[in-house]
Structure 1
Amino acid sequence: MQSFRTEIENPVVEKDILELERKIRLFQEGKVDEEKFRSLRLARGVYGQRQQGVQMIRIKLPYGKVTSKQLKRICDVSDEYSTGRLHITTRQDIQIHYVDLNRTPELWAELEKDDVTLREACGNTVRNVTASETAGIDVDEPFDVSPYAHALFQYFLRNPISQEMGRKFKVSFSASDADTGLSYMHDLGFIAKLKDGVRGFKVMLGGGLGSQPRHADVLFDFLESDKIIPLMDGVVRVFDRYGERKSRAKARMKFLIKDIGLDGFKALLAEEQKAVPYQSYPIDAEAYPKVEVAQVEVPQVEIADKNAFEAWKSTNLVPQKQQGFVAIGIKVLLGDWYTDKARKLADLVSEYAAGEIRLSLRQNILIPYVREGLLPFFYQELSNLGFTEAGYNKALDITACPGTDTCNLGIASSTGIAEELERVIRTEYPHYIANDDVTIKISGCMNACGQHNMAHIGFQGMSVRTKDKLVAPALQVLLGGSNDGNGNGRFADKVVKIPSKRGPQALRLILDDYEANGKGKSYADYYQEKGQMYFYDFLTPLSDVSNLSPEDFIDWGNSERYEKAIGIGECAGVVIDLIATLLFESEEKIQNAKEALEAGKWAASIYYSYTSMVNSAKALLTAEKAKVNTHAGIIKDFDAKFVASGRIDLGRGFEELALQLNKNEPTEAFAKSYLEDARHFLQTVEAYRKQELAEA
């Protein structure tokens, strides 16, 4: 790690990368618990892969914006440390696969040279802030949401309140009422609004997908733009303290809202307001970098296939509010593209557009600020790269997660079936290439990374067992999801489970029925009119598993017989003293609190002190085999088991001690006294643990 220490100008980033290197070493030496190491590396974009011994690296790209320079840097890193393949996710990130764990710190250091981070791309953190890919150019937008999305990203990056939550936290920004940022399925969703000339947002809270999708509640019909960051600061604090931590299946924000209700959440939110460091956080949108479009002469080109050119223009151009410009959509099959083409694309947009691309929620690429007169030239250049397939954001454009290709949690192939379904549409239903009324999405498991349960037609990877106890790959068919705009959406119904190899047949039946009976209705409205059982009746014959052929036991894109398996994660290979590890982490948090205090970051110091206290309490409760499901529960249980019983004397209750956090404003004086409280509490806990071990 010494070789790049001096190459990173930002000391905070340098420290972060060196810390990752140190923790990798400690983990491999058996000195850090596997679960704790997993939490640390995930918060730094390093994700265990289905294939043993290699990692997936997720590169965090706020609202999908990538400059030409950044794209070239990502290409260099992918070629050096990975395989040259770039995978666009449904959260506007880029993933690269098959990376050696030991090389991840230097990989990260290379990315940071062009202000690209891995920090909090995975893990129980505030994930990538997503937004409409048309932000800044949308003909219907009241204003550009990009500066607001960027400010929120910066505020929560490395923010101690969101580093070790019970589960991930997802945020989106929508440019207009079309809600292309999908606010209704996010933990927090913001839809741009103007009210009496004031910029603000409609705010949606507590949405989510997964096995139990939940429609977000309206938290505010209109919230001024300077209030969105203080609001989220409070929301994250509540989620961190009261959110479930032990059962991952119930640890998302949507379950907390379900348990305590929207009014209950608002009450907890009100209790946190004194601790929130800003009551107003103005965002200077005018300071956001201005677009600079390349000034070039229009190259003269001759289009050989004018029909193909016109078809491409009819499906792949997005109008811009800026006169004389359009955006070009590039359909990227399954979100996978390669560094050789990515470099050429980076040069193209740098020399002839605005030097940036936007990655979309549908795993595609949008090139903004293309002069209308340059369209023939761009078409020719993109054709040379294989980037002119018609059907951008149309029915042919199927979204799919990596599934069993690389993901630990994948149950059945999503990429293989996606390719086959696109082939079916292209060859048998060519008119759907230009149809934007039918959206098809596929996930390899219930976690919905492919967003299958908000699609018009969705497929979820599963398995099915025959009477002879043979296991075959299967698909859950879901129908009727839709984005209805302005924070309203419908989740798809589970209709029937079928063997995977019958997926194309199911799609044919669904499309044939719609064409015969839809009568001009949108697919979403047609489904609502007919209802779930109508579709179940004509699809259910496909669910019969009594007559499976040998081919049915081989998943799409595979040649070997299907075997349901969860990928293998890392294993430390040694026994760890978890209690000692927790107390060691408490000491680290004390040090973080001290450094934040010295840097004048009172709120950050206070939160580090708070997490140290809770972590120390968790250590003793873990030794007692007590539940440690939530921060709030840890605080109450520590009082009951140790303070009230007289086993530990704090001079007051632990709840009173710890929750000074939300009873005081984040001043320097309080940060200092609270840090001393945290130090004293850790010393008390360590002394108790030492005596306990001596008497054992």
Structure 2
Amino acid sequence: MVYHARQPSLWEGKEGKMAGLSEVVEAEIRYLEAMIARLEAGEEDPEDFRVYRLKNGIYGIRGRPEHHMIRIKLPVGRITPEGLRVLADVAEAYTENRLAHVTTRQAVQLHHVHRRDVPKVLRAVNAVGLTTREACGHSIRAITCCPYAGVSPEEPFDVTPYAERAYRYFLRHPVGQNLPRKFKVAFEGCATDHARTPIHDIGVVAAVEGGKRGFRIYVGGGLGAAPMSAELLEAFTPEEDLLPTMLAIIRLFDRYGNRKVLTQARLKFLVKKWGIAAFREAVREERRVVKLTASGADLEAWAPPEDYPPPRLPNPPRKPFSFAPGFDAWRRTNLFKQKQEGFYTVTVRLPLGDITPEGLRALAEIAETYAGEIRSAISQNFLLRFVPEEALGGLYEALLQAGLAHTDAHTLLDITRCPGADTCNLAITRSRGLAQALGEKLQALPLAQDPGVKAISVKISGCPNSCGQHPIADIGFYGSSRKVGDREVPHYVLLLGGRTREGEARFGQVVGRIPAHRVPEAVEAILQRYLGERQNGESFQAYLDRVGAASFKALLEQFQEIPPYAETPEFYQDLGAEGEAFSVQLGRGECAV
């Protein structure tokens, strides 16, 4: 397989090394090591350490100040088999739970890493083209890309080289080091909005005009407690103007974004305050200034990138079919037919978004045998691309042996969830526990095999901040609590009807608040009503549009009752924390900042 080696960002300087770590990266890690030594000796300001570690993707862990979560950015979702093996090594050696967690923004998180081991993890992942730099903080976060870019029959051209060029350009760029708030960018080439561009600060969508490549650019989207849909900035931005336009937007945000009120600091609030017409004119003027004052390095970086050559294709044993259990179901839900004749992209579904070191190593070996490329997806899964059709049976059997042949990718059972209160300081509930309980419930329901039900999306967040993307789910949940007597009871706020398409995000409507332990049966009731009332096989989204999400409020009232503690003490415990009395324990937020 051919993979593109990591290029240092423009801002690392020309001394960046192709093998090993660049001098800049090594200097950053050594500085971190020195800060840790001073902190443990009582000679370092904890706040200064916090600021530096966050800029390098190192988060605090709830209730464990000496342990951290490390967020590792996979450049535009791409990773090599060597990268998977390194993730396996560091997850095995340095995490307590021996898991890597794939996120909703194509990154990988390692939880419960002791502070003394953090520099070792950073050295290991940087050596294989990954980075933690600017994975947190008020910076330009991971630039995400449609995982089907380059293989989709729908796309006018592959946006991957453009997304990667933007990633390299803005990594360590001075403009992105102290923004008013975090800044998220997504690239999409398909008519289907796999990248969820309307919920990003900048959404970039491939377009062709008069035979010339360019982009439709959207600005001002975002989720959080006040979700907003991005608005169209330009219907066609020529490819050579892509980076100058992005830089102009970020410079305006840096200059005029709200630095006084954190909850009003995202770009979406600036776009709303000015109005899209005024913001559009400001971007055009700022872009003119950007281009007039460009350096030679800028001009070189702004040039349209060359298309990627196709990967060296695998030559696996020929076995197009398999008689192993589940093969037919896996073919129906986990395969995407590529525009390249005879090849498929295969989704490796990761329940709960988690994968073990053994799974990572097995996936690396399987990818080397059967695939041309590996990408992560915002569905919290991995994708194997350029898998020959004639090898699908062999691939399935290899995945089955490795415990990675889970069916039902991109269906009701492919539940999205954030880390929740297991590790996050802002979370109210343990979203992982609900995702597991709900998944088990749905797996056992015959009605979950109905095609219309299968197409429903479920997303769960542990708080209103939307890290699990609950506002854009058909069925979404976020954690809350309710006091019953002198005891707290974990609850989830239920939303119905969220979705995105290019240029539009429709956010779910709140229809009730359900005790955590009753959520699975409430979801079953929603699905039963949909099956009983739909007309002419209409989709769940079309059904909700017809009857209205609010019509479910009466149905859900029966699930809102809380029995006395003496009768059912488990109601007063969170899912995933059985045997522990539930109480809301909020700390200083980091993951959402």
Contact 2:21 2:126 in 1 (8 A): no
Distance in structure 2 (CA, Å) of the matches to 1:8 and 1:325: 34
SS class of match (2:424):
coil
Shift of 1:374: 0.5
The corresponding residue for 2:85 is 72
Aligned residue type for 2:519: G
How far apart in 1 are the matches of 2:513 and 2:20?
Answer: 52
Q: Aligned residue for 2:52?
A: 40
Decide whether aligned partners of structure 1 residues 291 and 8 sit closer, same or farther in structure 2, where only a CA change above 3 A counts.
Answer: closer
Structure 1 unaligned regions, length at least 5: 571-696
- Equivalent of 2:465 in 424, 442, 447: 447
Q: How far did 1:546 drift? A: 6.6
Q: 1:426 touches 1:433 (CA, 8 Å); kept in 2?
A: no
Using the alignment, how far apart are the partners of 2:538 and 2:43 within structure 1? 62
- Pairs within 5 Å for 1:188-587: 188-270=202-284, 272-273=286-287, 274-275=289-290, 277-278=293-294, 282-286=302-306, 288=308, 290-298=310-318, 303-305=323-325, 308-354=326-372, 356-428=373-445, 429-432=447-450, 435=453, 437-466=455-484, 468-483=485-500, 485-519=501-535, 520-545=537-562, 549-559=568-578, 560-567=580-587
Alpha-carbon shift at residue 293 of structure 1 (Å): 1.1
State how far apart, in whole Å, the 2-side matches of 1:440 and 1:348 are.
29
Task: Supply the AA of the counterpart residue of 2:335.
Answer: L
Quote the sequence identity (%). 37
- Tell me how far apart the structure 1 counterparts of residues 115 and 231 of structure 2 sit (CA, whole Å): 40
Deviations 1:164-223 (A, max 9, x none): 112110000112121111111100001111222211111110001111110111111121
Task: Give the Cα–Cα distance (whole angstroms) in 1 for the partners of residues 25 and 309 of structure 2.
Answer: 23
Structure 1 residues 96-122: Cα deviation after superposition (integer angstroms, max 9, x where no partner): 111122322232112222121111111
**Contact 1:425/1:433, CA 8 A, preserved across alignment:** no
CA contact (8 A) 1:39 1:124 kept: no
Which piece of structure 1 moves more, 527-536 or 231-240? Answer: 527-536
Q: For 2:585 and 2:105, how far apart are their aligned partners in 1?
A: 26
Deviations 1:631-661 (A, max 9, x none): xxxxxxxxxxxxxxxxxxxxxxxxxxxxxxx
Say whether the 8 Å CA contact 2:452–2:540 is kept in structure 1.
no
Q: Which residue of 2 aligns with 1:24?
A: 36
2:451, 2:539 → 1: CA distance?
A: 16
2:23 paired residue number: 11
Partners of 2:514 and 2:366 in 1: how far apart? Answer: 45
In structure 2, do the counterparts of structure 1 residues 287 and 222 end up closer, same or farther at CA, with 3 Å as the change threshold? Answer: closer
| Inter-CA distance 283–424: structure 2 relative to 1 (3 Å threshold) | farther
Q: Which stretch of the first structure deviates more once superposed, 7-16 or 533-542?
A: 7-16
**Which moved further from structure 2: 186-195 or 533-542?**
533-542
Distance 1:163 1:30, change over 3 A: farther
**Residue deviations 1:25-64 (CA, integer Å, cap 9, x gap):** 4444555543333222111111111141200011011221
Structure 2, unaligned runs of 5 or more: 1-16
Residue deviations 1:110-148, cap 9 Å, x none? Answer: 222212111111111111111111111111111111101
- On the 8 A contact 1:49/1:567 being kept in 2, the answer is no
Higher strand share: 2
State the match for 1:640 in structure 2: none
- The answer for the alignment partner of 2:193 in structure 1 is 179
> Following the alignment from structure 2 to structure 1, what is the Cα–Cα distance between the partners of residues 308 and 444?
45
What is the SS of the residue equivalent to 2:273? helix
Contact 1:477 1:494 (8 Å CA) reproduced: yes
Structure having the larger proportion of residues in helix:
1
1:107 matches 2:132: no
TM-score by length of 1: 0.77
Distance 1:143 1:470, change over 3 A: same
1:299 to partner: Cα distance: 5.7
Alpha-carbon offset, residue 419 of structure 1: 1.2
Question: Conserved in 2, the CA contact under 8 Å of 1:175 and 1:181?
Answer: no
The TM-score with structure 2 as length reference comes to: 0.90
Counterpart CA distance in 1 for 2:276 and 2:574 is 43
Partner residue in 2 for 1:82? 95
Residue 478 of structure 1 and its aligned partner are, at CA, apart by: 0.3
Structure 1 pair 300–200 and aligned structure 2 pair: CA distance change class (3 A): closer
Instruction: Give the Å deviation of 1:469.
Output: 3.9
Q: SS of the counterpart of 1:236?
A: helix
Structure 1 counterpart SS, 2:138: coil
- Asked if the contact 2:352/2:415 (under 8 Å) is kept, the reply is yes
Which one has the largest radius of gyration? Answer: 1
**Which residue does 2:165 correspond to in 1?**
151
CA distance in 1, matches of 2:507, 2:244: 30
Paired amino acid for 2:82: K
> Is the contact between residue 67 and residue 114 of structure 2 (CA under 8 Å) also seen in structure 1?
yes
Q: Which residue of 2 aligns with 1:674?
A: none
Partner of 1:127, secondary structure, is strand
Give the deviation of 1:568 after TM superposition: 6.9
Rounded Cα–Cα distance in structure 2 between residues aligned with 1:507 and 1:314: 24
Report which stretch shifted further, 210-219 or 430-439. 430-439
